[in-house]
Amino acid sequence: MFGAVLHFNPNSARATYGRAMCLDRLAEVQSSNSKLEQAIMTYRQVIDLADEDPNLVPLPLLRLAAEKCIERMRFRGFLGKAIRVQQRLLQRFPDDLGLRNQMGVTFLLMNQAPAAKEVFQEVLQKWPNDGFAQVHYGFVLKTSYNNNSAGAEFLRRGIESGAEGTQDGRFYFHLGDALQRQGLENEAYEVYDNGVEKGLFLNRYQRSLYNVDRLTSRPVWTLEQTTHQEFFRKLEENWEIIRDEGVALLSESPADGYRPEAENLRDTGEWKQYELYSRGRKITANCVKAPKTCELVKYAAATGCKRGQIKFSVMMQGTHVWPHTGPTNCRLRAHLGLVVPEGLRLRVGQEQIRWQQGKVVVFDDSWEHEVWHEGASPRLILIVDVWHPDLSEEEWKTLSPI
In the complex, the residues that contact Mn ion under the rule CB under 5 A are 365
Phi and psi dihedrals of 135, rounded to 5?
-65, -40
Which of 49, 65, 340, 371: binder of ligand LMR (CB under 6 A)? 371
Residue 256-295 contact track with ligand LMR, rule CB under 6 A, x = bound: ----------------------------------------
**Which residue lies nearer to Mn ion by CB, 99 or 314?**
314
| β-bridge partners, 311 | 275, 383
Nearest residue to Mn ion, scored by beta-carbon proximity: 365
Nearest to 375 by CA among 349, 350, 339: 339
Tell me the CA distances in angstroms from 206 to 11, 140, 265, one per residue in order.
Answer: 55, 23, 17
CA atoms within 13 A on the CB side of 351: 13
CB of 110 to ligand LMR, least distance (A): 28
**Which residue lies nearer to Mn ion by CB, 365 or 385?**
365
**Which residue lies nearer to ligand LMR by CB, 27 or 209?**
209
Nearest residue to ligand LMR, scored by beta-carbon proximity: 313
**Which residue lies nearer to Mn ion by CB, 238 or 273?**
273
CB of 400 to Mn ion, least distance (A): 20
Number of residues interacting with ligand LMR: please give it, by CB under 6 A.
Answer: 9
Residue 331-350 contact track with ligand LMR, rule CB under 6 A, x = bound: --x------------x----
Phi and psi dihedrals of 325, rounded to 5?
-135, 135
Query: Contacts by 159-164 with C-beta closer than 8 Å and gap 24+?
Result: 159/131, 159/135, 159/191, 160/131, 161/129, 161/130, 161/131, 161/134, 162/131, 163/130, 163/131, 163/132, 164/132
CB of 311 to ligand LMR, least distance (A): 9
Backbone φ/ψ region at 269: left (φ over 0), alpha (ψ -120 to 50), beta = left
- Which helix (H) or strand (E) is 382 found in, with range? strand 379-387
Assign 353 to helix, strand or coil. Answer: strand
Residue 315: which of ligand LMR, Mn ion, none does it interact with, CB under 5 to 8 A by kind?
Answer: ligand LMR
Q: The dihedral of CA 126, 130, 132, 136: what is its sign? A: positive
**Which residue lies nearer to ligand LMR by CB, 130 or 365?**
365
Residue 371: which of Mn ion, ligand LMR, none does it interact with, CB under 5 to 8 A by kind?
Answer: ligand LMR
CB of 16 to ligand LMR, least distance (A): 53
| β-bridge partners, 383 | 311, 335
Which one-letter amino acid corresponds to residue 239? Answer: W
User: Residue 103 burial by CB count (10 A; 0-12/13-18/19+): exposed, middle or buried?
Assistant: buried
Pick the piece of the chain touching ligand LMR (CB under 6 A) from 36-44, 213-221, 278-286, 365-373. Answer: 365-373
Exposure class string for 164-197: b at 16+ Cβ within 10 A, else e: eebbebebbbbbbbbbbbeebeebbeebbebbbe
Which of 23, 159, 178, 315: binder of ligand LMR (CB under 6 A)? 315
Pick the piece of the chain touching ligand LMR (CB under 6 A) from 66-74, 137-145, 209-217, 364-372. Answer: 364-372
361 sits near ligand LMR (criterion: CB under 6 A): no
**Which residue lies nearer to ligand LMR by CB, 79 or 283?**
283
**Which residue lies nearer to Mn ion by CB, 131 or 326?**
326
Binding site for ligand LMR (CB under 6 A): 313, 315, 333, 346, 365, 369, 371, 381, 383
